[in-house]
Structure 1
Amino acid sequence: MGRFLAIVILVSALAAGAAMYYFQVYGFYTEVEPNGTDDVVLIETATGEPAAIAYGDFRAIDADSSPIRYRACFTTTQDLAELSATFTAYEDAAPRVAPGWFDCFDAEEIGDALADGSALAFLGQRNLEYGIDRVVAVMEDGRGFVWHEVNDCGEKAYDGSPVDDSCPPRGF
Protein backbone atom coordinates (compact mmCIF):
# COMPACT_ATOMS: atom_id res chain seq x y z
CA MET A 1 0.00 0.00 0.00
CA GLY A 2 2.85 2.40 0.82
CA ARG A 3 4.46 1.86 -2.58
CA PHE A 4 1.16 2.59 -4.32
CA LEU A 5 0.71 5.86 -2.38
CA ALA A 6 4.30 6.90 -3.17
CA ILE A 7 3.68 6.30 -6.88
CA VAL A 8 0.41 8.28 -6.78
CA ILE A 9 2.14 11.18 -5.02
CA LEU A 10 5.07 11.11 -7.46
CA VAL A 11 2.81 10.98 -10.54
CA SER A 12 0.62 13.80 -9.12
CA ALA A 13 3.68 15.96 -8.45
CA LEU A 14 5.03 15.39 -11.97
CA ALA A 15 1.64 16.19 -13.52
CA ALA A 16 1.31 19.38 -11.44
CA GLY A 17 4.86 20.45 -12.35
CA ALA A 18 4.26 19.83 -16.05
CA ALA A 19 0.99 21.79 -15.90
CA MET A 20 2.64 24.74 -14.13
CA TYR A 21 5.46 24.78 -16.69
CA TYR A 22 3.00 24.70 -19.59
CA PHE A 23 0.86 27.51 -18.19
CA GLN A 24 3.85 29.73 -17.41
CA VAL A 25 5.55 29.27 -20.79
CA TYR A 26 2.67 28.67 -23.20
CA GLY A 27 -0.79 28.60 -21.67
CA PHE A 28 -1.52 32.22 -20.84
CA TYR A 29 0.16 33.87 -23.84
CA THR A 30 -1.73 34.87 -26.96
CA GLU A 31 -0.49 36.41 -30.19
CA VAL A 32 -1.43 40.08 -30.53
CA GLU A 33 -2.96 41.04 -33.86
CA PRO A 34 -1.24 44.18 -35.19
CA ASN A 35 -3.50 47.00 -36.37
CA GLY A 36 -0.86 48.24 -38.80
CA THR A 37 -0.97 51.91 -37.82
CA ASP A 38 -0.11 52.54 -34.18
CA ASP A 39 1.29 49.33 -32.73
CA VAL A 40 4.57 51.17 -32.02
CA VAL A 41 4.03 54.52 -30.33
CA LEU A 42 6.57 56.80 -28.62
CA ILE A 43 6.03 59.93 -26.52
CA GLU A 44 7.22 63.14 -28.20
CA THR A 45 9.54 65.17 -26.00
CA ALA A 46 8.20 68.56 -27.13
CA THR A 47 4.49 67.85 -26.69
CA GLY A 48 4.28 64.88 -24.34
CA GLU A 49 1.85 63.35 -26.81
CA PRO A 50 2.06 59.85 -28.31
CA ALA A 51 3.12 59.50 -31.94
CA ALA A 52 3.34 56.36 -34.05
CA ILE A 53 6.64 55.65 -35.78
CA ALA A 54 7.22 53.83 -39.07
CA TYR A 55 7.50 50.09 -38.46
CA GLY A 56 7.20 46.71 -40.12
CA ASP A 57 7.46 43.00 -39.30
CA PHE A 58 5.49 43.50 -36.08
CA ARG A 59 5.00 40.48 -33.80
CA ALA A 60 3.67 40.60 -30.25
CA ILE A 61 2.45 38.39 -27.44
CA ASP A 62 0.51 39.24 -24.31
CA ALA A 63 -1.22 37.54 -21.40
CA ASP A 64 -4.12 38.62 -19.21
CA SER A 65 -2.47 37.00 -16.19
CA SER A 66 0.05 39.84 -15.68
CA PRO A 67 0.50 43.39 -16.97
CA ILE A 68 4.24 42.83 -17.57
CA ARG A 69 3.96 39.85 -19.94
CA TYR A 70 3.66 41.96 -23.11
CA ARG A 71 6.56 41.56 -25.57
CA ALA A 72 6.82 42.78 -29.16
CA CYS A 73 9.37 42.87 -31.97
CA PHE A 74 9.41 45.07 -35.05
CA THR A 75 11.69 46.75 -37.55
CA THR A 76 11.94 50.44 -38.36
CA THR A 77 13.70 52.60 -40.92
CA GLN A 78 14.07 55.54 -38.53
CA ASP A 79 17.57 56.00 -37.17
CA LEU A 80 18.53 56.41 -33.54
CA ALA A 81 19.62 60.05 -33.90
CA GLU A 82 16.24 61.03 -35.33
CA LEU A 83 14.37 59.09 -32.66
CA SER A 84 16.43 60.47 -29.76
CA ALA A 85 15.98 64.04 -31.00
CA THR A 86 12.20 63.67 -31.11
CA PHE A 87 11.09 61.21 -28.45
CA THR A 88 11.36 60.85 -24.66
CA ALA A 89 14.16 58.57 -23.46
CA TYR A 90 13.41 55.90 -20.87
CA GLU A 91 16.12 55.68 -18.23
CA ASP A 92 17.28 52.40 -16.70
CA ALA A 93 15.24 50.21 -19.05
CA ALA A 94 15.62 46.51 -18.28
CA PRO A 95 13.97 44.13 -20.73
CA ARG A 96 12.21 41.13 -19.27
CA VAL A 97 12.85 37.62 -20.53
CA ALA A 98 10.33 36.35 -23.06
CA PRO A 99 9.31 32.70 -23.45
CA GLY A 100 11.85 30.77 -25.52
CA TRP A 101 9.36 30.12 -28.30
CA PHE A 102 9.02 33.89 -28.92
CA ASP A 103 12.44 33.88 -30.52
CA CYS A 104 12.58 37.44 -31.90
CA PHE A 105 12.85 38.87 -28.36
CA ASP A 106 16.20 38.21 -26.68
CA ALA A 107 16.25 40.16 -23.40
CA GLU A 108 19.97 39.57 -22.83
CA GLU A 109 20.91 40.89 -26.29
CA ILE A 110 18.62 43.91 -25.84
CA GLY A 111 20.02 44.63 -22.37
CA ASP A 112 23.59 44.41 -23.65
CA ALA A 113 22.77 46.75 -26.56
CA LEU A 114 21.19 49.25 -24.17
CA ALA A 115 24.25 49.07 -21.92
CA ASP A 116 26.75 49.63 -24.73
CA GLY A 117 24.71 52.35 -26.45
CA SER A 118 23.95 50.44 -29.66
CA ALA A 119 20.27 50.61 -28.69
CA LEU A 120 18.20 53.34 -27.06
CA ALA A 121 15.07 52.99 -24.94
CA PHE A 122 12.07 55.32 -25.24
CA LEU A 123 8.85 55.84 -23.33
CA GLY A 124 5.95 54.29 -25.20
CA GLN A 125 3.29 55.04 -22.61
CA ARG A 126 3.42 56.07 -18.96
CA ASN A 127 1.06 54.26 -16.61
CA LEU A 128 -0.46 52.06 -19.29
CA GLU A 129 -1.95 50.39 -16.26
CA TYR A 130 -1.31 51.81 -12.80
CA GLY A 131 2.43 51.55 -12.15
CA ILE A 132 3.24 49.95 -15.52
CA ASP A 133 5.06 51.73 -18.38
CA ARG A 134 5.40 50.59 -21.98
CA VAL A 135 9.05 50.75 -23.07
CA VAL A 136 10.27 50.72 -26.68
CA ALA A 137 13.91 50.01 -27.54
CA VAL A 138 15.44 50.46 -30.97
CA MET A 139 18.82 49.09 -32.08
CA GLU A 140 21.20 50.67 -34.57
CA ASP A 141 20.30 48.01 -37.16
CA GLY A 142 16.60 48.99 -37.06
CA ARG A 143 15.33 46.15 -34.93
CA GLY A 144 12.94 47.26 -32.23
CA PHE A 145 11.42 45.74 -29.13
CA VAL A 146 8.57 46.60 -26.77
CA TRP A 147 7.89 45.42 -23.22
CA HIS A 148 6.19 46.59 -20.06
CA GLU A 149 8.08 47.67 -16.96
CA VAL A 150 7.03 48.43 -13.41
CA ASN A 151 7.69 52.14 -12.75
CA ASP A 152 8.47 53.89 -9.44
CA CYS A 153 4.79 54.30 -8.55
CA GLY A 154 4.15 50.63 -9.25
CA GLU A 155 7.12 49.55 -7.13
CA LYS A 156 5.87 51.67 -4.23
CA ALA A 157 2.31 50.45 -4.56
CA TYR A 158 3.28 46.78 -4.86
CA ASP A 159 5.80 46.72 -2.02
CA GLY A 160 3.52 48.62 0.37
CA SER A 161 5.56 51.85 0.54
CA PRO A 162 3.63 55.11 0.72
CA VAL A 163 2.81 56.48 -2.73
CA ASP A 164 3.73 60.16 -3.04
CA ASP A 165 2.14 63.04 -4.97
CA SER A 166 4.21 62.36 -8.11
CA CYS A 167 2.09 59.26 -8.74
CA PRO A 168 -1.35 59.40 -10.31
CA PRO A 169 -4.32 58.39 -8.18
CA ARG A 170 -5.15 54.68 -8.35
CA GLY A 171 -7.89 53.88 -10.80
CA PHE A 172 -7.19 57.05 -12.82
Structure 2
Amino acid sequence: MNATRLAIIAILGSGLLAGVGMIYLQSYAGWAELDAAQVGEIQLQSVATGNLEPILAENVKGLDTVQDGVRLSGAISFRACFTTPQSLAMLTETYVIADNAEPLTTVGWFDCYDAREVGRALETGEAVAFRGAENISYGVDRMAAVFPDGRGFVWHQLNDCGEALFAGDTPPETCPEPPVAEE
Protein backbone atom coordinates (compact mmCIF):
# COMPACT_ATOMS: atom_id res chain seq x y z
CA MET A 1 0.00 0.00 0.00
CA ASN A 2 1.18 3.45 -0.72
CA ALA A 3 1.04 6.48 1.59
CA THR A 4 -2.03 7.94 -0.13
CA ARG A 5 -4.12 4.83 0.50
CA LEU A 6 -3.01 4.70 4.13
CA ALA A 7 -3.96 8.35 4.58
CA ILE A 8 -7.39 7.74 3.03
CA ILE A 9 -8.00 4.73 5.27
CA ALA A 10 -6.89 6.70 8.35
CA ILE A 11 -9.19 9.61 7.48
CA LEU A 12 -12.18 7.37 6.78
CA GLY A 13 -11.52 5.27 9.88
CA SER A 14 -11.26 8.27 12.17
CA GLY A 15 -14.42 9.74 10.62
CA LEU A 16 -16.28 6.49 11.24
CA LEU A 17 -15.08 6.31 14.85
CA ALA A 18 -16.06 9.96 15.43
CA GLY A 19 -19.53 9.29 13.98
CA VAL A 20 -20.09 6.24 16.17
CA GLY A 21 -18.86 8.20 19.17
CA MET A 22 -21.29 11.06 18.47
CA ILE A 23 -24.23 8.66 18.13
CA TYR A 24 -23.31 7.08 21.46
CA LEU A 25 -22.95 10.44 23.20
CA GLN A 26 -26.30 11.68 21.88
CA SER A 27 -28.31 8.52 22.46
CA TYR A 28 -26.83 6.75 25.47
CA ALA A 29 -24.15 8.60 27.44
CA GLY A 30 -25.59 10.39 30.43
CA TRP A 31 -29.18 9.26 29.93
CA ALA A 32 -30.67 7.30 32.81
CA GLU A 33 -34.02 5.59 33.11
CA LEU A 34 -35.93 6.62 36.25
CA ASP A 35 -38.33 4.54 38.33
CA ALA A 36 -41.55 5.88 39.86
CA ALA A 37 -39.83 7.00 43.08
CA GLN A 38 -37.22 8.95 41.13
CA VAL A 39 -39.85 10.60 38.92
CA GLY A 40 -41.99 11.52 41.92
CA GLU A 41 -45.66 12.45 41.88
CA ILE A 42 -47.33 13.50 38.66
CA GLN A 43 -48.71 16.90 39.58
CA LEU A 44 -51.01 19.23 37.64
CA GLN A 45 -52.04 22.80 38.35
CA SER A 46 -55.51 23.08 39.90
CA VAL A 47 -58.05 25.35 38.22
CA ALA A 48 -59.59 26.19 41.61
CA THR A 49 -56.46 27.02 43.62
CA GLY A 50 -53.63 27.42 41.12
CA ASN A 51 -51.61 25.03 43.26
CA LEU A 52 -50.03 21.78 42.12
CA GLU A 53 -51.97 18.66 43.04
CA PRO A 54 -50.91 15.05 42.52
CA ILE A 55 -53.04 12.88 40.26
CA LEU A 56 -53.39 9.12 40.45
CA ALA A 57 -50.59 7.67 38.38
CA GLU A 58 -49.48 4.10 37.81
CA ASN A 59 -46.76 2.46 35.70
CA VAL A 60 -44.60 5.57 36.02
CA LYS A 61 -41.20 5.57 34.42
CA GLY A 62 -38.99 8.40 33.32
CA LEU A 63 -35.80 9.47 31.65
CA ASP A 64 -33.40 12.26 32.45
CA THR A 65 -29.77 13.28 32.26
CA VAL A 66 -29.30 13.59 36.02
CA GLN A 67 -26.79 11.24 37.61
CA ASP A 68 -25.87 11.31 41.28
CA GLY A 69 -27.77 14.57 41.67
CA VAL A 70 -25.79 16.33 38.94
CA ARG A 71 -27.53 17.55 35.77
CA LEU A 72 -25.46 16.50 32.77
CA SER A 73 -27.61 18.35 30.27
CA GLY A 74 -30.17 21.16 30.12
CA ALA A 75 -33.32 21.25 32.24
CA ILE A 76 -35.51 20.18 29.32
CA SER A 77 -34.16 16.62 29.14
CA PHE A 78 -36.80 15.16 31.51
CA ARG A 79 -39.48 12.83 30.06
CA ALA A 80 -41.92 10.47 31.77
CA CYS A 81 -44.75 8.08 30.94
CA PHE A 82 -47.59 6.91 33.16
CA THR A 83 -51.16 5.67 33.16
CA THR A 84 -53.99 7.13 35.18
CA PRO A 85 -57.39 5.67 36.10
CA GLN A 86 -58.81 9.22 36.29
CA SER A 87 -61.08 10.14 33.40
CA LEU A 88 -60.06 12.77 30.90
CA ALA A 89 -63.36 14.58 31.57
CA MET A 90 -62.57 14.86 35.27
CA LEU A 91 -59.02 16.00 34.58
CA THR A 92 -60.15 18.75 32.18
CA GLU A 93 -62.62 20.09 34.75
CA THR A 94 -60.09 20.05 37.58
CA TYR A 95 -56.72 21.07 36.11
CA VAL A 96 -55.38 23.92 33.96
CA ILE A 97 -55.29 23.06 30.28
CA ALA A 98 -52.11 24.16 28.51
CA ASP A 99 -52.61 25.59 25.05
CA ASN A 100 -48.91 25.92 24.22
CA ALA A 101 -47.78 22.35 24.82
CA GLU A 102 -45.17 21.05 22.40
CA PRO A 103 -43.81 17.64 23.36
CA LEU A 104 -40.09 17.29 22.79
CA THR A 105 -38.51 14.23 21.24
CA THR A 106 -36.12 11.99 23.14
CA VAL A 107 -33.76 9.08 22.62
CA GLY A 108 -35.17 6.22 20.59
CA TRP A 109 -34.62 3.49 23.17
CA PHE A 110 -37.05 5.13 25.67
CA ASP A 111 -39.95 3.45 23.91
CA CYS A 112 -42.87 4.43 26.16
CA TYR A 113 -42.59 8.08 25.07
CA ASP A 114 -43.39 9.07 21.47
CA ALA A 115 -43.39 12.86 21.07
CA ARG A 116 -44.68 12.67 17.50
CA GLU A 117 -47.71 10.60 18.55
CA VAL A 118 -48.41 12.94 21.47
CA GLY A 119 -47.99 16.02 19.27
CA ARG A 120 -50.40 14.69 16.63
CA ALA A 121 -52.93 13.77 19.33
CA LEU A 122 -52.73 17.25 20.84
CA GLU A 123 -53.24 18.84 17.41
CA THR A 124 -56.30 16.71 16.65
CA GLY A 125 -57.76 17.05 20.14
CA GLU A 126 -57.46 13.34 20.88
CA ALA A 127 -55.21 14.10 23.89
CA VAL A 128 -55.31 17.08 26.24
CA ALA A 129 -52.28 18.93 27.60
CA PHE A 130 -52.11 20.19 31.17
CA ARG A 131 -49.82 22.58 32.99
CA GLY A 132 -47.65 21.09 35.67
CA ALA A 133 -45.03 23.06 37.58
CA GLU A 134 -44.22 26.52 36.22
CA ASN A 135 -40.54 27.48 36.33
CA ILE A 136 -39.53 24.06 37.64
CA SER A 137 -36.14 25.41 36.68
CA TYR A 138 -35.88 29.05 35.57
CA GLY A 139 -37.63 29.42 32.22
CA VAL A 140 -38.76 25.77 32.09
CA ASP A 141 -42.28 24.45 32.70
CA ARG A 142 -43.36 20.86 33.28
CA MET A 143 -46.17 19.81 30.94
CA ALA A 144 -48.32 16.68 30.77
CA ALA A 145 -50.63 15.21 28.15
CA VAL A 146 -53.28 12.59 28.79
CA PHE A 147 -55.12 10.37 26.30
CA PRO A 148 -58.71 9.15 26.79
CA ASP A 149 -57.39 5.63 27.50
CA GLY A 150 -55.42 6.96 30.50
CA ARG A 151 -51.95 6.99 28.95
CA GLY A 152 -50.02 10.05 30.06
CA PHE A 153 -46.77 11.73 29.09
CA VAL A 154 -44.71 14.40 30.86
CA TRP A 155 -41.93 16.64 29.54
CA HIS A 156 -40.20 19.93 30.24
CA GLN A 157 -40.37 22.81 27.78
CA LEU A 158 -39.18 26.40 27.67
CA ASN A 159 -41.68 29.08 28.65
CA ASP A 160 -41.61 32.73 27.51
CA CYS A 161 -39.03 33.59 30.19
CA GLY A 162 -36.71 30.77 29.14
CA GLU A 163 -37.06 31.47 25.44
CA ALA A 164 -36.16 35.14 25.97
CA LEU A 165 -33.23 34.31 28.24
CA PHE A 166 -31.73 31.72 25.90
CA ALA A 167 -32.23 34.02 22.89
CA GLY A 168 -30.30 36.73 24.72
CA ASP A 169 -33.35 39.00 24.94
CA THR A 170 -34.78 40.74 28.00
CA PRO A 171 -37.38 38.46 29.63
CA PRO A 172 -40.97 39.78 29.82
CA GLU A 173 -41.85 41.82 32.92
CA THR A 174 -44.03 38.98 34.22
CA CYS A 175 -40.97 36.73 34.59
CA PRO A 176 -39.21 36.16 37.89
CA GLU A 177 -35.72 37.53 38.24
CA PRO A 178 -33.29 35.38 36.20
CA PRO A 179 -30.65 33.51 38.17
CA VAL A 180 -27.27 35.16 38.53
CA ALA A 181 -24.49 33.29 36.76
CA GLU A 182 -21.80 31.98 39.09
CA GLU A 183 -18.27 32.98 38.27
Q: Under a length normalisation based on structure 1, what TM-score does the superposition of the two structures give?
A: 0.94
- CA shift, 1:22, in A, is 0.8
How far did residue 5 of structure 1 move?
Answer: 2.1
Q: CA, structure 1 residues 36+81, in 2 after alignment: closer, same or farther (shift >3 Å)?
A: farther
Could you list the per-position Cα deviations for residues 50-84 of structure 1 after superposition, in whole angstroms to 9, with x for gaps in the alignment? 11100101110001312111111100011111111
Matched residues in 2 for 1:36 and 1:141: separation?
25
Q: Percent identity?
A: 42
State the partner residue of 1:42: 44
In structure 1, stretches of 5+ residues that fail to align are none
Give deviations 1:129-167, integer Å, cap 9, x for gaps.
Answer: 111111011001100000111111111111112212111
Q: Is the 8 A contact 2:36 2:59 kept in 1?
A: no
Aligned length: 172
Match of residue 158, structure 1, among 128, 142, 166: 166
- Give the one of 112, 117, 134 matched to 2:120: 112
- Where does 1:76-155 land on structure 2 (aligned, <5 Å)? 76-155=84-163
CA contact (8 A) 1:156 1:163 kept: yes
For 2:78 and 2:40, the matched residues in 1 are separated by 16
RMSD: 1.6
Amino acid at match of 1:76: T
Q: Deviations over 1:87-122 (max 9, x none)?
A: 111112111112211111111111111111111111
Could you list the runs of 5+ residues in structure 2 that have no partner in the other structure? 66-71
TM-score (normalizing by structure 2):
0.88
Aligned to 1:30: 32
Is the alpha carbon distance of 1:96 and 1:37 closer, same or farther for their aligned partners in structure 2, counting shifts above 3 Å?
closer
Which amino acid in structure 2 is aligned with residue 141 of structure 1? D
Q: Distance in 1 between matches of 2:115 and 2:35?
A: 22
Q: Is the 8 A contact 1:38 1:52 kept in 2?
A: no
Q: Distance in 2 between matches of 1:122 and 1:168?
A: 22
1:171 aligns with 2:173: no
1:44·1:86 contact (CA, 8 Å) conserved in 2? yes
Structure (1/2) with the larger strand percentage = 1
